[in-house]
C-alpha cells in the first residue's frame, strides 16, 4: 500500500462508529430512501451511488489527482458501512434507546450548524493593518515570546500527604522530592516539557518569569499533581510574516464566533424560554475576555500551534 493510500485509510478509520450514526439517521424512518445518482454497487437491494462516493472523497480531503487511486478503497468502505447498517437494522440496533438518543443529538448538531452557516454573512477577511495591530498588541505571543523548559514529577493527588507537602516547601530541587518519594515508596513519573508564553495563560507566564531560579511549583491536573521546576527560559520570538496566516484565521474565526453569538442573542430575545427547575437556570453570560488568543480556542491557552 502506498503512502497516500495508507494515509487515506487512517483518515477514514472508525467505520463502525460512523456507520451507527449515518445508518441510524437514514433508518429512523423505517425503509431506506431511494438514493439519486449513478449506482456503483448494490448490497441486498441497497445502492451506493457515485454521489455518495464523491461526498466521501471530499470529506476525507482527497486531492483530485489522488481520487482515482483512492476511489476503490472508499467504495469498499461504503460497502462495509452498508453491510453494517443492514445488520444493525436486522437486529434492531437502530432502535436501542441509547443509539436513538445519539442519533437525535447528531441530527440536532447538524441542523443547528447548517442554520448558522446559512444565516451568518460571510465574514470580511482581516486587513494587513488589523493583523499588524494584533501582532503589536500581544508581544508575549510573538515578538517577546518566551520558552520555558521544565522538569517535572507527576504523581496521584491521593499521594499528597502533609509530610510530602513539607518536603516540597523546603526542597531546592526535584531530586530532593524524588528521593523522599522513593523512601516512602510513592509512585511517580518524570517528564521534561517545553511551553512558550504563547501556549500558557498570560498570568501563568508572568508568574513563571517572576519565579526565582530553580523554584518549584505545583499544579493539579485532574486526578494527578504535577510538580515542576523551570530549568531554562529562552527568547523565541516570531516575525509578523511567519504568523500572519494564523492571525488572519484567528481573527476570521473571532468574527464568525461573534456573528453566531449575535444570532443566538436574537433568537433568545424572540423566544419564550422557561427553565422548569430554578436550580438549573443558567447564569448571565460573562463578558468576553480582554485579550483572546489566536489559536482558535476560546480558553486562555495562548497560541499553541504558532511555531
Provide the residue-wise pLDDT of the chain in tens; the chain has 307 residues.
444 444 434 444 443 334 334 434 444 444 444 455 589 999 999 999 999 999 998 888 888 888 888 898 999 999 999 999 999 999 999 899 999 999 999 999 999 999 998 988 777 899 999 999 999 999 999 999 999 999 999 999 999 999 999 999 999 899 999 999 999 999 999 999 999 999 888 888 888 888 887 889 999 999 999 999 999 999 999 999 999 999 999 999 999 999 999 999 999 999 999 999 988 888 876 655 545 555 434 333 333 333 3
Q: Please give the Cα distance from 168 to 276 (Å, whole number).
A: 49
142 vs 146, 239, 304, CA distance in Å? 9, 7, 11
pTM, two decimals, is: 0.61
Closest CA to 27 of 109, 110, 107: 107
Measure the CA angle with vertex 106, ends 105 and 112; round to 5°: 90
CB 41 within 8 A of CB 75: yes
Of 223, 233, 218, 106, the closest CA to residue 164 belongs to 218
Contacts of 15 (CB under 8 A, 6+ apart): 77, 80, 81, 84
Per 3-state DSSP, the chain is made up of helix, strand and coil in percentages (nearest 5) of 50, 15, 35
Neighbours of 54 (CB within 10 A): 15
Antiparallel, parallel or unpaired: β 224-235 and 146-156: antiparallel
pLDDT digits (tens, 9 = 90+) for 171-228: 989 999 999 999 999 999 999 999 999 988 888 888 888 888 788 999 999 999 999 9
Amino acid at each position: 500500500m502506498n503512502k497516500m493510500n495508507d494515509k487515506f485509510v487512517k483518515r477514514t478509520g472508525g467505520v463502525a462508529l460512523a456507520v451507527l450514526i449515518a445508518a441510524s439517521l437514514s433508518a429512523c424512518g423505517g425503509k431506506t430512501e431511494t438514493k439519486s445518482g449513478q449506482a456503483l454497487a448494490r448490497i441486498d437491494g441497497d445502492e451506493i451511488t457515485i454521489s455518495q462516493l464523491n461526498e466521501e472523497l471530499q470529506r476525507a480531503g482527497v486531492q483530485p489527482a489522488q481520487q482515482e487511486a483512492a476511489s476503490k478503497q472508499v467504495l469498499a468502505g461504503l460497502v462495509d458501512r452498508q453491510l453494517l447498517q443492514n445488520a444493525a437494522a436486522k437486529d434492531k440496533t437502530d432502535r436501542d434507546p441509547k443509539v436513538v438518543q445519539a442519533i437525535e443529538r447528531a441530527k440536532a448538531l447538524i441542523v443547528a450548524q447548517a442554520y448558522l452557516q446559512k444565516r451568518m454573512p460571510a465574514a470580511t477577511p482581516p486587513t494587513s493593518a488589523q493583523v499588524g495591530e494584533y501582532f503589536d498588541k500581544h508581544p508575549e505571543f510573538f515578538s517577546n515570546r518566551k520558552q520555558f523548559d521544565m522538569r517535572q514529577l507527576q504523581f496521584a493527588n491521593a499521594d499528597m500527604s502533609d509530610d510530602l507537602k513539607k518536603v516540597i516547601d523546603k526542597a531546592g530541587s526535584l531530586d530532593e522530592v524524588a528521593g523522599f518519594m522513593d523512601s516512602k515508596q510513592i509512585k511517580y513519573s518524570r517528564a521534561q516539557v517545553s511551553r512558550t508564553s504563547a501556549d500558557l495563560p498570560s498570568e501563568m507566564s508572568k508568574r513563571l518569569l517572576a519565579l526565582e531560579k530553580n523554584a518549584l511549583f505545583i499544579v493539579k491536573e485532574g486526578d494527578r499533581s504535577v510538580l515542576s521546576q523551570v530549568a531554562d527560559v529562552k527568547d523565541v520570538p516570531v516575525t509578523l510574516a511567519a504568523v500572519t496566516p494564523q492571525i488572519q484565521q484567528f481573527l476570521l474565526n473571532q468574527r464568525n464566533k461573534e456573528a453566531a453569538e449575535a444570532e443566538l442573542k436574537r433568537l433568545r430575545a424572540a423566544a419564550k424560554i422557561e427553565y422548569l427547575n430554578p436550580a438549573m437556570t443558567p447564569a448571565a453570560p460573562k463578558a468576553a475576555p480582554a485579550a483572546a488568543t489566536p489559536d482558535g480556542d476560546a480558553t486562555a491557552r495562548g497560541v499553541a500551534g504558532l511555531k
